[in-house]
Amino acid sequence: MNVDDAAHAVVHDYPGGSESLGPRAGIGAAVLRSKVNPNAGTHHLTLKEAVRITGLTGDMRILQAFAQECGHIVLAAPGGDDRHASDMAVLELVAAVGGSQGDLFGSIHRALADGELTPAELAAIHDCGQAAMARIAALLQRLGGMVEG
C-alpha cells in the first residue's frame, strides 16, 4: 500500500470518517477528505497532519507505508521491562514469527504456481516479507531486553 492509499484508508476507516476525525485533527471534514483523496490535486496532507492523524487514530498504516516506500520496516518501541518477559510472551513472538514466515512462503508459492509473477503478486510477497521481518525484529528486540548484566 502506498502512502496516499494508506492515508485515505486511515481516514475513511476511522469511526465516523473525516466528519469525526477532521475536527479532532484541526482540519475541516471536507478539506481532510480532499487531502486524503488520491485523485485530488488541490489539497495535500502535510507530514505534521499525518503524524497528528496517526496519533489520534492509533493506526500505523501511513507510517508503515512511508517506511515501506523507503525500504524500511516499522517496529514498535519497547513498551516495558523485557528482562522479565514471560516464557509465554516469548513463545507468542516465536509463533508469530513462524506464522508470518508461513504467510510469506505461502504468498510465494501461490504467486509462482502458474509460472508467472505479476506486479500485484510481487507486492503481496513484499508485504508478507515486511511483516515477517518486523516480527523477527520484535523477537530479537524482546530477547535482547532479557539479557542480564
List, for residues 80-109, the tens digit of each pLDDT value: 556 666 788 888 999 999 999 999 999 999
Q: Rounded to whole angstroms, how far apart are CA atoms 103 and 125?
A: 9
Phi-psi domain of 71 (left: phi exceeds 0; alpha: psi -120 through 50; beta: other): left
Predicted confidence (pLDDT) at residue 77 exceeds the cutoff of 70: no
Asked whether residue 24 is domain-assigned, the answer is yes
Q: Are residues 7 and 62 in the same domain?
A: yes
Q: Are residues 58 and 104 in the same domain?
A: no
To the question of pTM greater than 0.75 for the whole model, the response is no
Domain that holds residue 140: 82-145
State the total domains in the chain: 2
> How long a stretch of residues is the chain?
149
16 — pLDDT class (breaks 50, 70, 90)? very high
Asked whether residue 76 is domain-assigned, the answer is no
Average pLDDT over residues 50-65: 96
Predicted confidence (pLDDT) at residue 51 exceeds the cutoff of 60: yes
